[in-house]
Amino acid sequence: MIDIHNHIIPGIDDGAQTLADALVLLQLAVDDGITHLVCTPHMHAGRFNNCIETIRPGFKGLQKAAAESALPIRLAMAAEVRISDDFIIQLKQNKVPFIGRWQNKAVVLLEMPHDRIPVGIENLLDWLAQQDILAIIAHPERNKEIILRPGRAQSLAKHGALFQLTSASVAGHFGESALKTAHWFLENELAFCVASDAHNVKNRPPLMGAAYKTLEEMGGKELADKLCLNNPASLCETLF
């Protein structure tokens, strides 16, 4: 499987804190059946002040350590970018790493606040489209406004948004509302892919294997492969 969202680069966000933590998490990813992993630390101005230049050295260090440990996993880097004015500024400065390409457009992994859908997000999506950029919205099934009114996601999809569900939500480890909303996305064929959003071994491990199994039970191997392997592979083809 290909995991396009996790916080495994040590010491630059609320994910792995040390290289040792990161290597344990990587081993867990390997054991979970992940062969390719895109490291996506938070870029969240005022909280995690990252950009392409702060992410790259940590990524290179992790890649080197993984190779020295002979871990059978390919690594690439991108970011999970919080929607804010800073996002637009950093984008214009070429400081936002893209997560790949889809339909001839560059793709960015975007994070909404957890409690609401930001006002004007449709305008943002339209503006991005004008720059030949598409957005993948990270974990919409954990957004409080979408949980209450999942139909709002239809409108975002009409403006070009793709959606990444969290493996733990799909597998039922993130509570009833996340599970129900994740299934709403699956039933309405709005899920582009599933990714781990793994942060640590104890509370936020990868769980891609569990999600794959759930998807297989729901829609067969075809659905599980599409969301955990084929769509992420096409998206990230240029990264690895």
List residues near Fe ion by CB under 5 A: 80, 197
Closer to Fe ion by CB, 7 or 95: give it: 7
Cα–Cα separations (whole angstroms), residue 89 to 28, 42, 229, 239:
36, 16, 33, 23
Q: Answer whether 6's CB lies under 8 Å from 40's CB.
A: yes
CB-nearest residue to Fe ion? 197
SS3 211: helix
- Min separation Cβ 7 and Fe ion, Å: 6
In the block, tokens 């406004």 appear at 145
- Min separation Cβ 134 and Fe ion, Å: 18
Residue 200 bridge partners (DSSP)? 204
The separation between CA 74 and the C-alpha centre of its own chain, rounded to angstroms, equals: 16
Which amino acid, 92? K
DSSP state, residue 227: I
Q: What share of the chain is helix, strand, coil (3-state, %, to 5)?
A: 45, 20, 35
- Min separation Cβ 41 and Fe ion, Å: 9
H helices then E strands: how many in the chain? 10, 10
Closer to Fe ion by CB, 168 or 215: give it: 168
- Min separation Cβ 127 and Fe ion, Å: 23
Closer to Fe ion by CB, 80 or 141: give it: 80
In the block, tokens 């992420």 appear at 232
Closer to Fe ion by CB, 8 or 223: give it: 8
What radius of gyration do the chain's Cα atoms show? 16
Residue 105 bridge partners (DSSP)? 102
- Min separation Cβ 80 and Fe ion, Å: 5
Residue 151 bridge partners (DSSP)? none
Closer to Fe ion by CB, 141 or 197: give it: 197
Closer to Fe ion by CB, 82 or 223: give it: 82
- Min separation Cβ 144 and Fe ion, Å: 16
